[in-house]
Amino acid sequence: MPESDWADAAALLRAMLTGDEARYARLAAEAAGTSAADAYSLLVTTAFIICVRRHFRDGYSTADVIRLVATLRSYSADAAESVDPAGAENVIKTALGEPSPGAEPDMATKTNTQVGTLMILVGHQLSDDELGNFIADALARARKDSHTS
């Protein structure tokens, strides 16, 4: 992928995590149907995995995962409606390295879980510098993963 796609993906992720809806909408419209959209998808997935593993760095239980999903769903009425609890638990446990316990959750459940979790654990808790470092780390890992897959 060209470097410009990764730069566009990072800008899109930053706009999402900082709640800059106008910038996010503009960048998403520009990226739609391009390889920058693919880079963004990979970057969000990578950032989600980093975020979940950092959150549970000291270990976790099923109850801890359920609490995270409950927090995610309580964030807004839209989140409560759009996040399937069982599917979200599956997505989080898979990010933690557990084998998928059953059928793969649908794309909407995966996306809503990933984005919602990032917003709760990253977007509202990191300073601007920390957010920049987080995005840089996710970007480096996503680039690496794109070359090994």
What does the pLDDT profile of the chain (149 residues) look like in tens digits? 788 898 999 999 889 888 889 999 999 999 999 988 889 888 888 888 888 898 898 999 999 999 988 988 887 787 777 778 888 888 888 889 887 766 677 777 777 777 777 777 776 667 778 888 888 888 888 888 887 65
pLDDT of residue 125: 67
pLDDT of residue 61: 93
State how far the Cα of 28 lies from the Cα of 33, in Å rounded to an integer: 10
With left for phi above 0 and alpha for psi between -120 and 50, is residue 42 left, alpha or beta?
alpha
Whole-model pTM: value is 0.82
